[in-house]
Structure 1
Amino acid sequence: MMLMWILAFGWLGIVAGQQSIGCFKSTSLEPDLPVLVAKRVNSPAECVRECKARYYVFSGLMNGHQCYCGSQYGKFGPSDSCKTPCIEDPSVFCGSDEAINVYSTGQKGPSPPRRVSIDNYKQDSLEVIWQPPDIPNGKIVSYTLKATALESSASYPLPPIDSEVQGEFSNKTTILGLHPGTKYNISIFASNAQGSSDPAYTIDYTQIGPPNKPSAPKILDTSEKTITIEIPQGSSENGPLSYYYVVVVQPGTVPPTGSNITYENVDRAAREGLGYYFTGKFEVSNYAEYKRFEVGDGRMIGGYYNAPLNKENGQPQIGVALESRVGREVQYAYSDLTTGTHKIQIRNSQDNTASAANIILWVLIVLLGLLLLTSVLIFVMLRKRFQNVRMRRLPEQQELTLQGPLYEVDNMGYIPEDVPERANHYQDLKSKVWSIPRNFLNFDPNPVRHGRFGSVHMGTVQRDAIPVAVSVHKISDTLLKGSEKRKMLRELDVCIKAGTSKYLASLVGNCETPDTLFVALEMPPQSLKMRLLAARSGEHFHHEQILRIAACVADALRHLESLKILHTRVCARSVGLTNDWSPKLMGHGISKYALEDVKYARWTAIECFDNQKKHNPGVVWAFGVLLWEMFSMGGTPYSNLEMDSDVEEALTQGYRLEQLRDVPDPIHEVMSSCWLVDPEERPTFDELVRLDTLSMVPITSITEPYRPELELN
């Protein structure tokens, strides 16, 4: 009885919900609603269900049984001809052959996005592409994506990652902040002004990352040809752990340890002159069997010959490598090498021989020490004697040195304090920076730029066993004239004086060969300009990050200002972004030659066109233009003005960049204050670092064009 009452009330609810919107003109040749359901429908409720299942907003009935669907109705006007009774309920009319009864289905949002797939895979991101809904039911205003971890090697629960893309024509975005080696369910739904669609899905994996760095193996015993170690158990948060490797490193060798670097076997390493090799390999499942490992026992282990050790030049160091492998993706992690030694057990018959050898060795050490001390004393005396002569007569050809005090100032760089420079300036600079071992430095032989002093390449530096992305300035000493050397040294000194700062792309170090100087500087993986332009084609840009990024750049400029360093390349192209969206200001000193060649007039302060002298209020002006660049999503400043001279003339006549649609008044007032005619009235960087305390609204429209021909030489 209760079930009958429930069914009765449900039927009454459906009937009550199917109130006709009205009767409208319609024929089978020109139907008011365009989509005909290819089945016989007996009631308005059944037609509503059919159309809602197809994501249409309206349904309609003609001729008592023909069901039509659409998102708009009434294009031919109202009618009073809906007189054909419905088949299931003759008391209800279902249109006629020239009219249609229209009903609302209750559908608000669009149909789901189509053909969702992954276009680009990285360790911490997935690029998602899709096609728009075929039934938008209005204008699409945004897409919302969610990445939910399904399978992972992480030892902790991974939270879902949400991403939102604004714009009707967006069709791709990159979801950042994902975990390596993880299977994700990517859902996406579209939204119009009335509601949201059902989600569409795709499932895919991020690229695997390197395993966790293993501990150094423990030496248990040694003999003349072997070293017995205990291998620590490995783990990986970034993908499955596949294999263990045992590493042998000859004395005096510093091996590379990047996550994409593998070693050769002992034979090939010997042929190629490498001082390191893999001596054994085993699967993770065999760890218990190989936990105690005798290096040099002469066996084949996992396809590698475990060659007896050669200790003539000292005891080799032993390490462990872990491999994570999925298909063609391979990542490695290397342990530190063994540092302790274990006493070699020698037979009693050799004791006397060893003691005699030790005595002779100690005598030789003492004699060599005395000779070394005498040599040092003689060197100091000679150096003191000839120092004055050297200060007066330094040859032009001496490698990268300066003659006498120099006070000329390159107005594109650092304004030095009024102190005389030492003659051997290059040696002074070298003492302040890390001298990178040549085998720690790798770079693409094809240059990306040709700077003032040489070519610029992209590469990596091994720092603390971690590869760091850098720009490498390759400077040929033999090709530089003396005046160019002096200018190069001044710009290098700017980077040294700038030191390290959280939001500054700093000098990593230099590397010397007999005829070439390599200067390595931090190079973030992406530039702010490229991220802004990518947002125009649908990639997600965290608009709420704009003011934080601006405040961080202001902090970096404040740091440079405190050191009397003037940055003359402030624009979106001189700001790098790390993977966690932290900005890194580039372009000070010699690092500016790694940047694109920008026509800088559109960022130049009004007073700097006629007066070539640069000053910090001019940097503040450029910072205001950078702020405008971010809110315009990479738009070109003064895109309606073709020539640099047109920009200068417009600024002189009082023209300034206009307020963008989504920029609140307080933020535009900050921009305008940066462009005041009187430099003294412009804000300071102490004030601009508080930009992130202001509030902003989402950026819903991009109105300013990007014209690269006006920005780049």
Structure 2
Amino acid sequence: MNLTIFADIPKNCYFTIFDENGTYFSITDKSINSLQISFDSVEFVIDFVSYNDSAEWTGFLVVIEGHRISPPNDTIIHVVHKPGGLKEWLIIGLSSVGLIVAIVVVGLITRHQLEKRYKKFDQLCNVLKGMRVSPEEIVEMKEKSDELLILPNKIHINFDYSFGQGSSSTVYKGHLMGTAPLHLIEKSIVTQRFMDCDVAVKAATHFGPDEVERLFKEIGAMKKIGYHENVMCMLGWALPEETPCLVYDIAEMSVLSFVSDFREKPDDQVPCKKFLSILWQVTRGMQYIASKGIIHRSLSARNILLFGPTVAKISYFTNCCFCGSENFMVKDLTVKKLSAKSMALESLTEKIFSEKSDIWAFGILAYEMFTFGKAPYEALNDDEILEFLNQGNRLERPSNVNDQLYEVMMDCWNADPDSRPTFKVLEKTFFEIVEIKNELYGYVQTNIYNI
């Protein structure tokens, strides 16, 4: 199929052509005169979308020459625009080549369909109104979310390529067209690579009030965090269909998968220094997160992701919470869906969360890594875990952990939160243990942005 395009597209207006594989061609803020493009397709869609209410379109002309379209009415053209004071006109020209006539059906989207497409975000906010969220919080969530929103025509999701599926979401491979909202916010050298790139797209398996709450919580956390080399930062979020999707950089694997590969290998093949380097990077990322007043609450081996051979990033902020600047702790009586195996003693008994409860989880993370993915307290249920800890018991020392490292882990599991170290102290400790300055520090810092 050959298309000849004449168009004058204002700023913040988008002229996009989709074929069966996703976005084929897209322009904005540009005039084109007799541009010719060709592709093999029996179906395509033209979206003419405006996010600029003051713009006046001069229109566009598309001449279609089809060499083979079967059946004829599989080819569809439609025009979509966001309502708001626009003057527009549209001409579509058709021609045929040889004996085969290209028959095109022009479909205009009804007002009801337009409103449905562009009010999805408002529908998400309406769900929040039925929950315990104040109007002020909804407005704040919307403002944060708007900045990270990716337009539907800027993201293509390959639903046939899945990185993995969890209990509440599936992660697919996708492709981002244009610049990620994260880079538009940060405008830094290290985020400029998030342009026209492959991405990981997390879509909820089910969608309801709980998913809406987690969506806005994660968006809020990502907006507050911005960018850090040891934090899995969200590039943006999108509403390509009815279900919102979160867009991330693509990781190679989780730390849980990485360490599990060494279960059957001899001790001399276990890269203990790399294990320690990962823990050091986690302390760096968690120190940054804590400085933003964020409590992670789900720190574990499965939620640390690896990028290339050296870089570890903290992910999964669905269960995070925000603490004030007064006492840097939160009492959350409504907590749910948290793993008791990683929860601090005060979190289990009093529902109190702080940086120090994340410190406890960090000790559990170290245990998971050096036992090659063994589940902590694997023989105990939640009630038995609490009784076990209240009696002063703690997890046993893994066979490949020396006295110095086990002492650090035990410090993380101190019953008194004030007696536990901070992530700033732990970063210094692991820096010294792994001798980062001489062996790994320069390598990690040099290559961390090139993965």
User: TM class by shorter-chain length?
Assistant: 0.5 to 0.7
Question: Counterpart amino acid of 1:508?
Answer: L
2:290 to 558, 561, 577: 561
- Superposed, 1:81-92 pairs within 5 Å as none
Q: 1:403–1:423: 8 Å Cα contact kept in structure 2?
A: no
What is aligned with 1:444? Answer: 159
- Superposed, 1:446-525 pairs within 5 Å as 448-449=164-165, 455-462=169-176, 467-474=197-204, 480-481=208-209, 485-486=212-213, 488-513=215-240, 515-525=242-252
Give how far 1:517 is off: 2.4
**Take 2:43 and 2:140, find their aligned partners in 1: how far apart are those partners?**
39
Rate the CA distance shift 1:527–1:507 in 2: closer, same or farther, 3 A: same
Rate the CA distance shift 1:432–1:406 in 2: closer, same or farther, 3 A: farther
SS in 2 for 1:501: coil
Q: 1:475–1:517: 8 Å Cα contact kept in structure 2?
A: no
- Superposed, 1:584-603 pairs within 5 Å as 584-589=313-318, 600-603=339-342
SS in 1 for 2:425: helix
| Structure number with bigger Rg | 1
What is aligned with 2:388? Answer: 650
Give how far 1:530 is off: 0.9
Rate the CA distance shift 1:634–1:615 in 2: closer, same or farther, 3 A: same
Give how far 1:619 is off: 0.8
SS in 2 for 1:690: helix
What is aligned with 2:124? Answer: 400
Q: Any unmatched runs of 5+ in structure 2?
A: 6-23, 29-35, 47-59, 64-84, 88-118, 180-192, 322-335, 436-451
Cα deviation per residue 1:149-193 (whole Å; 9 max; x = unaligned)?
Answer: xxxxxxxxxxxxxxxxxxxxxxxxxxxxxxxxxxxxxxxxxxxxx
Cα deviation per residue 1:624-655 (whole Å; 9 max; x = unaligned)?
Answer: 1111222222233234x332322222211111
Q: 1:505–1:586: 8 Å Cα contact kept in structure 2?
A: yes
Task: Give me the identity figure in percent.
Answer: 20
Rate the CA distance shift 1:497–1:443 in 2: closer, same or farther, 3 A: farther
Q: 2:203–2:243: 8 Å Cα contact kept in structure 1?
A: no
2:358 to 590, 596, 619: 619
What is aligned with 1:682? Answer: 420
Give how far 1:608 is off: 1.9
1:533 to 260, 263, 266: 260
Rate the CA distance shift 1:581–1:610 in 2: closer, same or farther, 3 A: same
Give how far 1:603 is off: 1.7
Give how far 1:451 is off: 5.6
Q: Larger deviation: 434-443 or 668-677?
A: 434-443
Q: 1:528–1:575: 8 Å Cα contact kept in structure 2?
A: yes
Rate the CA distance shift 1:621–1:270 in 2: closer, same or farther, 3 A: closer
Rate the CA distance shift 1:656–1:419 in 2: closer, same or farther, 3 A: farther
2:301 to 556, 564, 572: 572
Q: Any unmatched runs of 5+ in structure 1?
A: 1-223, 226-248, 254-264, 276-310, 315-370, 374-394, 410-417, 698-713
Matching of residue 432 in structure 1 with residue 147 in structure 2: yes
Question: Counterpart amino acid of 1:432?
Answer: E
**Take 2:395 and 2:292, find their aligned partners in 1: how far apart are those partners?**
31
Q: 2:125–2:138: 8 Å Cα contact kept in structure 1?
A: no
1:269 to 30, 33, 40: 40
Give how far 1:612 is off: 1.9
1:668 to 406, 409, 413: 406
Q: 1:523–1:576: 8 Å Cα contact kept in structure 2?
A: no
**Take 1:633 and 1:487, find their aligned partners in 2: how far apart are those partners?**
30
Q: Normalized against structure 1, the TM-score is what?
A: 0.38
Question: Counterpart amino acid of 2:137?
Answer: E
Rate the CA distance shift 1:485–1:631 in 2: closer, same or farther, 3 A: closer
Q: 1:251–1:313: 8 Å Cα contact kept in structure 2?
A: no
Q: 1:574–1:586: 8 Å Cα contact kept in structure 2?
A: yes
Give how far 1:251 is off: 6.9
Question: Counterpart amino acid of 2:350?
Answer: N
Q: 1:555–1:689: 8 Å Cα contact kept in structure 2?
A: yes
Rate the CA distance shift 1:401–1:636 in 2: closer, same or farther, 3 A: closer
Q: 1:575–1:585: 8 Å Cα contact kept in structure 2?
A: yes
**Take 2:41 and 2:120, find their aligned partners in 1: how far apart are those partners?**
44
Q: Normalized against structure 2, the TM-score is what?
A: 0.57
Give how far 1:402 is off: 5.5
SS in 2 for 1:610: helix
SS in 1 for 2:369: helix
Rate the CA distance shift 1:514–1:690 in 2: closer, same or farther, 3 A: same
**Take 1:419 and 1:563, find their aligned partners in 2: how far apart are those partners?**
24
**Take 2:248 and 2:201, find their aligned partners in 1: how far apart are those partners?**
5
- Give the RMSD, CA atoms, in angstroms: 4.4
Cα deviation per residue 1:313-353 (whole Å; 9 max; x = unaligned)?
Answer: 69xxxxxxxxxxxxxxxxxxxxxxxxxxxxxxxxxxxxxxx
Give how far 1:555 is off: 1.3
Rate the CA distance shift 1:524–1:399 in 2: closer, same or farther, 3 A: same
Give how far 1:556 is off: 1.2
SS in 2 for 1:636: coil
Q: 1:459–1:469: 8 Å Cα contact kept in structure 2?
A: yes
Question: Counterpart amino acid of 1:252?
Answer: I
**Take 1:495 and 1:548, find their aligned partners in 2: how far apart are those partners?**
24
Q: 2:255–2:304: 8 Å Cα contact kept in structure 1?
A: yes
Give how far 1:503 is off: 0.7
Q: 1:474–1:517: 8 Å Cα contact kept in structure 2?
A: yes
SS in 1 for 2:295: coil
What is aligned with 2:94? Answer: none
**Take 2:37 and 2:120, find their aligned partners in 1: how far apart are those partners?**
48
Q: 2:259–2:369: 8 Å Cα contact kept in structure 1?
A: yes
Cα deviation per residue 1:510-557 (whole Å; 9 max; x = unaligned)?
Answer: 222463422223342201111111012349552211222111111111
**Take 2:264 and 2:136, find their aligned partners in 1: how far apart are those partners?**
53
Rate the CA distance shift 1:486–1:608 in 2: closer, same or farther, 3 A: closer
**Take 1:549 and 1:489, find their aligned partners in 2: how far apart are those partners?**
29
**Take 2:382 and 2:226, find their aligned partners in 1: how far apart are those partners?**
34
Give how far 1:441 is off: 2.5
Cα deviation per residue 1:403-451 (whole Å; 9 max; x = unaligned)?
Answer: 9999959xxxxxxxx994354843x133321515445322335874466
Q: 1:473–1:520: 8 Å Cα contact kept in structure 2?
A: no
Answer 1 or 2: higher relative contact order, Cα 8 Å, separation at least 6: 2
What is aligned with 2:277? Answer: 548
**Take 2:41 and 2:347, find their aligned partners in 1: how far apart are those partners?**
62
